[in-house]
């Protein structure tokens, strides 16, 4: 019998009732009395000198309250980067200034250089059009290789060049050289990990409200981590102390990473509302989102694998260029380094690995974490490479993988991380069981009979999530701690509010988190609510990204609940006139062990708040506990994925016929939510593999600037997925034994799709080594032309 309560129950998401009935309350649904509207004037050139901005006509237009330019932000902090990467020479990365409104120069299409605040949105737009400006266009650098060339136009005049850092990780040069010198076979692959735009359904919104009465500012914003925004904006940009700054992230309609970062618009509305003493709201248009939301991925990589004569992997080296865009977004610098280089061992016991990454400034929108952040880039290059090696060696791609799997844990990789646990054989076995591999040849024949080429693509993945041990990431350059926090507030009648640092914007925390507390206390989930998203209500936690919420914040919640249980047992012991050591908590009842003497949950909680009969000399009244949890390691979800495609050889069109995912997420709290997370992740992975592509022309103009040209995946583009998460190796170091499932689908799926396309083409006699994503019909057709 599947459980219907507590850990392991596939409970329906309680938050969906409000989302599906239009009762969600998003940032744009919030309006403040006397609210003004703000419109940003954004650069339409990729690079230019601001010679003049004349706002005088615009200021005289109806409804205009005030117009701001970069000058208004002189002496005010710039947007900070939260992670300082140290390069391979021990030097800190180059960190250019990032003013809230551009000063002196604009550096990408969409860079804001003026903002109009007016009584209505229409008036603000009208006035923005009336601003007269002279921006002298300069040559732009878009291509990363060109940006690194001698004499290239500099994105930032005050830096020596466009190289942000030159970083490496892993085995020493001698070990790598030896591996490649001894190799019986070397497989090499050059590829691009395509730039993506996250495109959450809800565009970004920010509403700043200043309260003159107590000198307090409130920012309502579409954020995945309100406390991080409060810290960054308060301390680094505007100089507002925490107790005078409240950040609220209400219902958020999807984040996918792009709502982690602290954005100029947030600082602007908070600043401007203090200046004009009225609330200021900005709502991004979809067009603005394309040119102002941080983009994702955008790596160019050369990767090489050395194999010995028995096809054992003996060495791996990579050389990657990672696009930072024009400025360093909040976590941009960490993505191609510590979130990417550390994953290059993948599932394999390759003894020598060296990762080289150069991060490059270009005149494009800043690039930062997007679902998977660094791990999809790592997985894609490695799993495409292994597939290519199998093809070159004429061996079975699954057998080659199996032969090189890490099989004993813990396993310290050559790239700085230690996998605590995993079972890659088990997930691969499960996958093979799910996909009916023996039946593939028959399916291929059926496709051929329809004039289609069928291909099967396989890959594994390993990822690191649950970021992170603070002392470790501190050494690596993180400028924040990466613990999380939870407060469990038991009310007098026994109901519970859990205030959590994690933010839910599609992950289903409001359902899954209560399941954990309900399991621990033996009470019903309906008695428990999660409170999140408001810095004035929740403890200082770091928010939701990197599949960390349950592993890190959930662990804090477990610790706080344990404290509650300990205290409640003391109260129960007092009420039952027994030692608290003899008290057992089961099904919401405290019982003296070995007797039928018991007291109910509600009686204990009531006693805590109405302490008439209470051990006041020993313990305080009340029942509320907070815990901060700092993990001792990352968690390492892993799995094996398979995709079958059909390619129409006449048009190059790829259709996905089936997709299977066998994941090991450790223990699972709510299998239905996990399944949904995997579905969503695979959908985005298929989007990256087949459809999505953010394209600039050589002048830095954004060509894919709307849904007319940026292809999002739709329901018809994805199959009914087969997913499984029955292979469980519990995480060894957090109390729930959980690993994280939010990004796996996006990490694990792109290589399976591309491997399948290459396999399909090979079956038709087309010897195509690689096709860059998105594997569009045009690209497939071109590859087939040779």
DSSP letters spanning 490-509: E-TTS-EEEEESS--SSS-H
Where in 338-428 does DSSP place strands (E)?
Answer: 352-361, 411-412, 418-419
Q: Which is nearer to other proteins, 474 or 719 (CB)?
A: 719
Q: How far is the CB of 778 from other proteins (least distance, A)?
A: 4
The overall longest dimension of the chain from CA atoms, in Å, is 86
Q: What is the DSSP letter of 157?
A: T
**Rounded Cα gap, residues 549 and 503, in angstroms:** 8
Tokens of 439: 């039946």
776 binds other proteins (CB under 8 A): yes
Q: Which is nearer to other proteins, 700 or 737 (CB)?
A: 700
Answer for the pair 43, 111: CB distance below 8 angstroms, yes or no: yes
Interface stretch with other proteins, choices 93-101, 400-408, 476-484, 710-718 (CB under 8 A): 710-718
**Rounded Cα gap, residues 726 and 592, in angstroms:** 37
Q: Which is nearer to other proteins, 287 or 312 (CB)?
A: 287
Q: How far is the CB of 126 from other proteins (least distance, A)?
A: 8
Answer for the pair 727, 663: CB distance below 8 angstroms, yes or no: yes
Residue 735 main-chain phi, psi, to 5 deg = -65, -25
Q: Which is nearer to other proteins, 507 or 693 (CB)?
A: 693
**Rounded Cα gap, residues 79 and 90, in angstroms:** 24
The one among 695, 698, 726, 767 contacting other proteins by CB under 8 A: 695
Q: Which is nearer to other proteins, 82 or 700 (CB)?
A: 700
Backbone region of residue 456 per phi and psi (left: phi > 0; alpha: psi in -120 to 50; beta: other values): beta
Nearest to 531 by CA among 504, 495, 506: 504
782 binds other proteins (CB under 8 A): yes
693 binds other proteins (CB under 8 A): yes
Q: How far is the CB of 710 from other proteins (least distance, A)?
A: 6
777 binds other proteins (CB under 8 A): yes
Q: How far is the CB of 98 from other proteins (least distance, A)?
A: 28
704 binds other proteins (CB under 8 A): yes
Q: Which is nearer to other proteins, 320 or 684 (CB)?
A: 684
Interface stretch with other proteins, choices 15-23, 72-80, 260-268, 699-707 (CB under 8 A): 699-707
Answer for the pair 771, 757: CB distance below 8 angstroms, yes or no: yes
650 binds other proteins (CB under 8 A): yes
287 binds other proteins (CB under 8 A): yes
Interface stretch with other proteins, choices 179-187, 194-202, 246-254, 700-708 (CB under 8 A): 700-708
Q: What is the DSSP letter of 93?
A: P
Interface stretch with other proteins, choices 374-382, 463-471, 744-752, 778-786 (CB under 8 A): 778-786
Q: Which is nearer to other proteins, 528 or 753 (CB)?
A: 753
Q: Which is nearer to other proteins, 145 or 782 (CB)?
A: 782
* CA R_g for the chain: 27
**Rounded Cα gap, residues 223 and 543, in angstroms:** 9
Per DSSP, the three-state class of 589 is: strand
The one among 618, 698, 712, 726 contacting other proteins by CB under 8 A: 712
DSSP letters spanning 614-673: S-TTTS-SS-EEEEEE--SS-B--EEEEEEEEEE-TTT--EEEEEEEEEEE-BS-S-HHH
Q: Which is nearer to other proteins, 95 or 692 (CB)?
A: 692
781 binds other proteins (CB under 8 A): yes
Q: How far is the CB of 242 from other proteins (least distance, A)?
A: 40
Structure-token match 């009244």, residue found: 621
Which residues is 661 bridged to in the sheet? 641, 723
703 binds other proteins (CB under 8 A): yes
**Rounded Cα gap, residues 140 and 62, in angstroms:** 37
Q: How far is the CB of 155 from other proteins (least distance, A)?
A: 25
User: In 284-374, which ranges are continuous DSSP H helix?
Assistant: 286-292
Q: How far is the CB of 698 from other proteins (least distance, A)?
A: 14
Other C-beta atoms lying within 10 Å of the C-beta of residue 700 = 23
Q: Which is nearer to other proteins, 122 or 587 (CB)?
A: 122
Interface stretch with other proteins, choices 87-95, 356-364, 632-640, 706-714 (CB under 8 A): 706-714
Q: Which is nearer to other proteins, 3 or 714 (CB)?
A: 714
Interface stretch with other proteins, choices 237-245, 588-596, 645-653, 669-677 (CB under 8 A): 645-653
CB-based burial label for 217 (10 Å; 0-12, 13-18, 19+):
buried
Q: Which is nearer to other proteins, 181 or 715 (CB)?
A: 715
Q: How far is the CB of 399 from other proteins (least distance, A)?
A: 35
**Rounded Cα gap, residues 159 and 778, in angstroms:** 40
Interface stretch with other proteins, choices 12-20, 508-516, 553-561, 646-654 (CB under 8 A): 646-654
The one among 4, 122, 396, 587 contacting other proteins by CB under 8 A: 122
Q: How far is the CB of 285 from other proteins (least distance, A)?
A: 9
The one among 5, 14, 125, 563 contacting other proteins by CB under 8 A: 125
Answer for the pair 269, 206: CB distance below 8 angstroms, yes or no: yes
Q: Which is nearer to other proteins, 713 or 751 (CB)?
A: 713
**Rounded Cα gap, residues 530 and 523, in angstroms:** 15
Tell me if the bond preceding 410 is cis, omega within 30° of 0: yes
The one among 12, 71, 88, 778 contacting other proteins by CB under 8 A: 778
Q: How far is the CB of 124 from other proteins (least distance, A)?
A: 13
Q: How far is the CB of 609 from other proteins (least distance, A)?
A: 53
433 binds other proteins (CB under 8 A): no
Nearest to 166 by CA among 372, 8, 319: 319
Q: How far is the CB of 321 from other proteins (least distance, A)?
A: 22
Interface stretch with other proteins, choices 142-150, 258-266, 374-382, 772-780 (CB under 8 A): 772-780
The one among 159, 416, 619, 691 contacting other proteins by CB under 8 A: 691
Measure the N-to-C terminal CA separation of the chain; round to a whole number of Å.
56
Who's near 534: CB < 8 A, 6+ residues apart? Answer: 226, 246, 247, 248, 249, 250
Where in 293-351 does DSSP place strands (E)?
Answer: 299-307, 313-325
Which residues is 112 bridged to in the sheet? 42
Tokens of 411: 């396993």
Residue 471 main-chain phi, psi, to 5 deg = -65, -35
Interface stretch with other proteins, choices 193-201, 473-481, 593-601, 702-710 (CB under 8 A): 702-710
451 binds other proteins (CB under 8 A): no
Interface stretch with other proteins, choices 112-120, 207-215, 272-280, 707-715 (CB under 8 A): 707-715
**Rounded Cα gap, residues 356 and 231, in angstroms:** 32
DSSP letters spanning 474-495: HHHTBSS---EEEEEEE-TTS-
Tell me if the bond preceding 704 is cis, omega within 30° of 0: no
Give the total of residues touching other proteins (CB under 8 A).
Answer: 25
Q: Which is nearer to other proteins, 639 or 700 (CB)?
A: 700
Q: Which is nearer to other proteins, 362 or 693 (CB)?
A: 693
103 binds other proteins (CB under 8 A): no
The one among 708, 715, 720, 765 contacting other proteins by CB under 8 A: 708
Answer for the pair 197, 291: CB distance below 8 angstroms, yes or no: no
Interface stretch with other proteins, choices 72-80, 400-408, 459-467, 769-777 (CB under 8 A): 769-777
Instruction: List interacting residues with other proteins (CB under 8 A).
Output: 122, 125, 129, 287, 650-651, 653, 690-691, 693, 695, 703-704, 707-712, 774, 776-778, 781-782
């Amino acid at each position: 019998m599947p459980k219907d309560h507590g850990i392991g129950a596939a409970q329906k998401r309680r938050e969906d009732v409000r989302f599906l009935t239009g009762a969600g309350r998003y940032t744009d649904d919030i309006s403040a009395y006397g609210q003004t509207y703000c419109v940003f004037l954004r650069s339409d050139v990729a690079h230019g000198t601001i010679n003049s901005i004349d706002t005088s006509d615009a200021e005289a237009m109806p409804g205009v309250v005030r117009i701001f330019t970069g000058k208004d932000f002189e002496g005010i902090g710039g947007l900070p980067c939260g992670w300082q990467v140290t390069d391979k020479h021990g030097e800190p990365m180059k960190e250019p200034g990032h003013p809230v409104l551009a000063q002196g120069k604009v550096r990408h299409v969409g860079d804001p250089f003026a903002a109009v605040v007016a009584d209505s949105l229409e008036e603000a737009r009208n006035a923005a059009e009336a601003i007269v400006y002279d921006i002298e266009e300069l040559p732009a650098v878009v291509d990363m290789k060109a940006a690194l060339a001698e004499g290239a136009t500099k994105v930032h005049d005050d830096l020596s060049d466009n190289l942000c850092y030159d970083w490496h990780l892993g085995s020493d040069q001698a070990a790598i050289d030896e591996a490649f010198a001894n190799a019986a076979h070397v497989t090499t692959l050059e590829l691009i990990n395509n730039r993506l735009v996250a495109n959450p359904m809800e565009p970004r919104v920010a509403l700043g409200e200043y309260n003159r009465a107590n000198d307090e500012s409130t920012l309502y914003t579409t954020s995945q981590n309100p406390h991080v925004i409060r810290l960054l904006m308060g301390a680094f940009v505007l100089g507002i102390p925490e107790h005078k700054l409240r950040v609220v992230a209400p219902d958020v309609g999807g984040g996918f990473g792009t709502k982690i970062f602290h954005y100029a618009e947030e600082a602007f509305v908070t600043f401007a509302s203090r200046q004009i003493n009225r609330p200021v709201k900005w709502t991004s248009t979809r067009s603005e989102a394309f040119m102002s939301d941080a983009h994702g991925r955008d790596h160019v990589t050369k990767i090489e694998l050395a194999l010995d004569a028995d096809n054992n992997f003996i060495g791996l080296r990579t050389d990657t260029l990672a696009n930072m865009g024009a400025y360093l977004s909040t976590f941009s610098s960490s993505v191609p380094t510590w979130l990417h280089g550390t994953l290059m061992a993948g599932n394999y016991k390759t003894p020598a690995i060296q990762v080289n990454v150069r991060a490059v400034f270009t005149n494009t929108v800043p690039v930062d974490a997007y679902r998977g952040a660094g791990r999809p880039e790592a997985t894609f290059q490695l799993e495409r490479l292994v597939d290519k090696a199998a093809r070159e060696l004429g061996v079975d791609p699954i057998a080659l993988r199996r032969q090189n799997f890490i099989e004993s844990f813990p396993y310290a990789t050559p790239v700085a991380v230690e996998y605590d646990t995993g079972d890659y054989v088990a997930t691969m076995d499960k996958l093979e069981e799910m996909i009916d591999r023996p039946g593939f040849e028959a399916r291929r024949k059926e496709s051929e009979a329809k004039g289609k080429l069928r291909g099967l693509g396989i890959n594994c993945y390993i990822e690191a999530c649950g970021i992170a041990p603070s002392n470790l990431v501190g050494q690596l350059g993180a400028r924040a701690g990466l613990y999380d926090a939870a407060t469990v507030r038991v009310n007098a009648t026994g109901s519970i509010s859990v205030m959590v640092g994690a933010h839910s914007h599609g992950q289903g925390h409001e359902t899954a988190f209560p399941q954990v507390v309900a399991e621990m206390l033996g009470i019903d989930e309906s008695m428990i609510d999660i409170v999140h998203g408001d810095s004035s209500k929740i403890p200082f936690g770091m928010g939701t990204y990197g599949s960390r919420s349950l592993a890190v914040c959930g662990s804090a919640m477990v610790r706080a609940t344990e404290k509650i249980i300990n205290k409640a047992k003391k109260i129960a012991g007092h009420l039952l006139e027994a030692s608290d050591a003899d008290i057992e908590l089961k099904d919401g009842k405290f019982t003296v062990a070995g007797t039928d003497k018991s007291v109910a949950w509600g009686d204990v909680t009531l006693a805590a708040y109405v302490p008439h009969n209470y051990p006041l000399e020993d313990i305080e009244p009340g029942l509320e506990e907070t815990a901060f949890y700092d993990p001792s390691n990352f968690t390492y979800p892993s799995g094996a994925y398979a995709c079958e495609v059909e390619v129409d050889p006449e048009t190059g069109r790829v259709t996905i016929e089936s997709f299977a995912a066998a994941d090991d997420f450790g223990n699972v709290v709510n299998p239905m939510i996990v399944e949904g997370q995997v579905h969503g992740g695979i959908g985005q992975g298929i989007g990256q593999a087949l459809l999505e592509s953010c394209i600039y022309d050589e002048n830095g103009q954004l060509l894919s600037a709307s849904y007319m040209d940026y292809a999002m995946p739709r329901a018809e583009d994805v199959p009914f997925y087969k997913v499984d998460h029955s292979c469980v190796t519990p995480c060894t170091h957090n109390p729930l034994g959980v690993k994280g499932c939010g990004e796996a689908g996006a990490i694990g799926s792109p290589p399976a799709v591309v491997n399948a396309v290459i396999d399909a083409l090979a079956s038709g006699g087309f010897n195509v080594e690689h096709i860059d994503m998105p594997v569009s019909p045009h690209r497939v057709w071109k590859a087939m032309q040779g």
